[in-house]
């Protein structure tokens, strides 16, 4: 983790139907990255948050959810706000490949805090993860 916390103050919307997972992830993102976090237990609720006009820097959504899956949610968000990054998280590598083939952002479970920070940083700030494992230098 970079000492200057480049993600501090950024707004992340977590979408997951598992309340325990969502609560744990919310705590980690707030405490570790310094982000502001909003949560939604469903795709419909996530769309309500997005349609409310609140500023978001990134949506982090589970792929497997009842009623509306993460892939459908990402598509609907893309139609509303094409510049808003949506990271889809799944435990299935075939889904990661499918999402990536369609130009989406996918993260395979389990993932490390370092990987989560790299994905968030790359898609919010535009800094790609360093190839050598070193932290990016301040500009």
Are 45 and 66 in contact by the 8 Å Cβ rule? The answer is no
CB 62 within 8 A of CB 70: yes
Question: Which pLDDT does position 94 carry in this prediction?
Answer: 86
pLDDT score for 126: 86
pTM for the whole structure: 0.87
Residue stretches of the chain with pLDDT short of 50? 1-2, 132-139
pLDDT at 81: 95
What pLDDT is attached to residue 132? Answer: 40
- Give pLDDT, residue 1: 44
Bridge-partner residues for 89, per DSSP?
62, 107
CATH number for the domain formed by residue range(s) 11-124? 3.40.50.2300
Rounded Cα gap, residues 100 and 107, in angstroms: 10
Decide if 14 contacts 25 (C-beta within 8 A).
yes
């Amino acid at each position: 983790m970079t000492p200057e916390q480049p993600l501090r103050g950024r707004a992340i919307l977590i979408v997951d139907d598992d309340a325990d997972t969502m609560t744990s992830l919310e705590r980690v993102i707030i405490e570790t990255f310094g982000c502001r976090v909003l949560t939604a237990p469903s795709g419909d609720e996530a769309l309500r948050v997005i349609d409310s006009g609140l500023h978001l820097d990134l949506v982090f959504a589970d792929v497997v959810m009842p009623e509306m899956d993460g892939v459908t949610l990402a598509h609907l968000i893309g139609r509303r706000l094409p510049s808003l990054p949506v990271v889809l998280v799944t435990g299935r590598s075939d889904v990661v490949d499918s999402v990536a083939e369609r130009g989406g952002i996918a993260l395979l479970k389990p993932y490390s805090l370092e990987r989560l920070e790299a994905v968030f940083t790359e898609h919010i700030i535009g800094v790609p993860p360093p190839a050598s494992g070193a932290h990016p230098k301040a500009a």
